[in-house]
Amino acid sequence: MEKNGTIVCPTDFSECSLNAIEYASRIGEQYGAKLILIHVSNKEDFLKLNPGREDNDYQRDFLKEKLNNLKKTVQAESIPLGLESCEGMILEGDVIEVMLNAIEETDCQLVVMGTEGMNDLRKNIIGSRTSQIVGKSPVDVLVVPRKVFYKKPRKLVFGTDYREEDKIAIQKVVEFAKFFDAEIDIVHASDGKNKLDRPLHQSMVEEITPFVRYDKVNFVLKSFRDNLALGMESYLASAKGDMLITLSRQRDFFDKIFNKSLSKKMAYFITKPLWVIKNF
């Protein structure tokens, strides 16, 4: 993301989306960004928020008031800390279509949005609002789980099976890490079927190092016995990582992490924010 850019954050006023707004605000403070809060109005969501009411005029007033209150809270808390501005927009229509149009029209560099957990993302990467936007967005998406509250990131975990694009993507991760003086673990990961050898890993390290220019980077070679999703979850926990980062262009790696065949007990695999890098 560039300095003084734009962040878009959809909200349905749930706890999940409020956590996403917190992350969007804090990141916006560091980049001096403009934050746009967007609510996509539809009857189904309105009735969930306010059962028993069918009045369309009341619905519009209700939504405007809630969004305005959110906007004022963000302005009061984050503009003094570096956020350039905060705006609110109420749009109507299909949530996915409207959000993708808004991403294009606002020329934003980052979308920050909430999700209920791994189950929301994993439904074939097309089965929920969040996952569809992750899949179709032309810009980076930061996914914030419902039960994850903002904390200053101290360690970022960049999972990769190594591609040429990593050399450029890691520069974006480093820029972000510098704001928080955070460590970065670049985890060269594989499953048991495709175990990576150390000479290949060392070759990767030698190629990427000139692009890093940051002291707090660790290169890690991991081969997980079961699968990448379980392995990355375990690594995040053991390394005390605060955010998982992956490059969507690494299609095989990305798909393996969000494999549909994971057991139901993994439905809430995501316990940390997930940053999906889409462009650089």
What single DSSP character describes residue 150? P
The overall pTM is greater than 0.95: no
Q: Which of 102-111, 165-174, 194-203, 251-260 shows the lowest per-residue confidence on average (mean pLDDT)?
A: 251-260
Q: Which of 81-85, 124-128, 171-175, 223-227 shows the lowest per-residue confidence on average (mean pLDDT)?
A: 124-128
Cα dihedral value 89, 90, 95, 97, nearest 10: -60
Beta strands in the chain (DSSP E): 6-10, 34-41, 85-92, 110-115, 140-145, 155-160, 183-191, 217-224, 243-247, 274-277
Residues 126 and 205 in one domain: no
Residues 166 and 73 in one domain: no
pLDDT confidence of residue 262:
37
Distance of CA 7 to the CA centre of its chain: 12
CA separation for the pair 187, 219 (Å, rounded): 6
Q: Is residue 222 part of a domain?
A: yes
Q: Is the pLDDT of residue 268 over 50?
A: no
pLDDT confidence of residue 89:
94
Number of domains in the chain: 2
pLDDT confidence of residue 179:
93
Q: Is the pLDDT of residue 178 over 60?
A: yes
For 259-272, what is the mean pLDDT?
47
For 169-175, what is the mean pLDDT?
90
Q: What is the pLDDT of residues 106-127, one digit of tens each?
A: 999 999 998 754 444 444 333 3
pLDDT confidence of residue 201:
78
Beta partners for residue 142, in sequence order: 112, 275
Of 121-130, 131-140, 188-197, give the range with the top mean pLDDT.
131-140
What single DSSP character describes residue 138? S
CA separation for the pair 17, 45 (Å, rounded): 13
Phi then psi dihedrals of residue 31, to 5 deg: -95, 0
Tally of CB atoms within 10 A around 135: 17
Looking at 91, 119, 145, which one is the last position of a domain? 145
Q: What is the pLDDT of residues 151-166, one digit of tens each?
A: 899 999 998 877 777 7
Give residues with Cβ within 8 angstroms of 116, minimum separation 6. 16, 145, 146
Q: Is residue 1 part of a domain?
A: no
pLDDT confidence of residue 3:
83
Phi-psi region of 10 (alpha: psi -120 to 50; beta: other; left: phi over 0): beta
Instruction: Name the percent of the chain lying above pLDDT 70.
Output: 77
Residues 103 and 170 in one domain: no
Q: Is residue 253 part of a domain?
A: yes
Instruction: Please give the structure tokens belonging to residue 126.
Output: 């097309």
Q: Is residue 54 part of a domain?
A: yes
What is the domain-level CATH number for residue 90?
Answer: 3.40.50.620
Residues 101 and 162 in one domain: no
For 211-227, what is the mean pLDDT?
83
Amino acid identity of 140? D
Q: Is residue 150 part of a domain?
A: no
Residues 129 and 209 in one domain: no
Looking at 121, 145, 169, which one is the last position of a domain? 145
Q: Is residue 119 part of a domain?
A: yes
Give the length of the chain. Answer: 280
Residues 130 and 255 in one domain: no
For 26-32, what is the mean pLDDT?
96
Residues 122 and 184 in one domain: no
Looking at 94, 114, 145, which one is the last position of a domain? 145
Residues 128 and 246 in one domain: no
Q: Is residue 98 part of a domain?
A: yes
For 97-110, what is the mean pLDDT?
94
Domain that holds residue 76: 6-145
**Greater pLDDT, 39 or 224:** 39
Give residues with Cβ within 8 angstroms of 194, minimum separation 6. none
Q: Is residue 18 part of a domain?
A: yes
